[in-house]
Structure 1
Amino acid sequence: PNDAFFFAGFLPSKDKARRDRLAELAGVPATLLFFESPHRIAATLVSAADVLGDSRPACVCRELTKTFEEFRRGTLGELAAHYAQAGAVKGEIVLVIGPPGEAAAPEAEDVDRLLAQLVKDMPAGKAATEAARQTGLPRRDLYQRLLDLKDGDAR
């Protein structure tokens, strides 16, 4: 969408700091724009897919307004996979990430299945947090749903 943009400049080069910054920007209701260096684009896409969700739409724009201008569109997951195998990338890069909430809400059965799987490997609070990250749904609602599922209430 081109109705609202948030230009965030360069992301931090360290992975934890980069992930923290992406988490801060995850809920911004606008298209996110970042400058990125060619040697860090693959790692940045992996971090963005992990933090923002691998199905979030994005575009890697390279060499804008120049002879070898290139646009590669897809989801963050698809772009991360491509650039992990692409080898050395050259040029100036702008990473454009679509706003949250563009994808349809997951089905209740899918959410229940995800919660059931996650709670096998982690405590309920962490499972709700991870499910919120993966689905974009509010953690509070997912935690309550998890408690309801444990009590046998299948609303």
Structure 2
Amino acid sequence: MGQVAFDTLQASEELETSGISREQARAISLVVRKSHEVADVATKADIAEVNRNIADVRKDMEHRFEKTDAQIADVRKDLSAEISDVRKDMEHRFDKNYAQMLARFEKTDAQISLVRKDMEALTNGLLIKLSRVIVITIGIVSTIATLIIKFS
């Protein structure tokens, strides 16, 4: 920041002309000069420069925020597309697995139906054989009973 110019010689001479001794005038002007050197006073130009810097930073930040917002929008768009693709893939896989499962159930049902037919055929065959055995057994028992009655 710029410093305010202070002419110690001129100040000392003015103090002398107003009636202060040369040593006192010189001491006063040196004290004032040192106080001006120590004080870092902002000028209107300094403040204007700071304001310009702040405005530049704001513009840069706005630009960066806009860029970041655009990047976030792109990421959202990409992510949405990927999620959509995953959903389609999952639906396809689900449909495929569902179709395979239905085919297996149909195959299993057909196999169960065949087993039932085989069991029914075996049962019918066994009933016929059992009926023959019963008829033969009844025939044998009646023959034995007839013989017992005849010989008794």
Rg: which structure is higher? 2
Point out the structure with the larger strand share.
1
- Relative contact order (C-alpha < 8 Å, sep 6+): which is higher? 1
Point out the structure with the larger helix share.
2
Instruction: Judge same fold: TM > 0.5, yes or no.
Output: no
- The TM tier, using the shorter chain, reads under 0.3
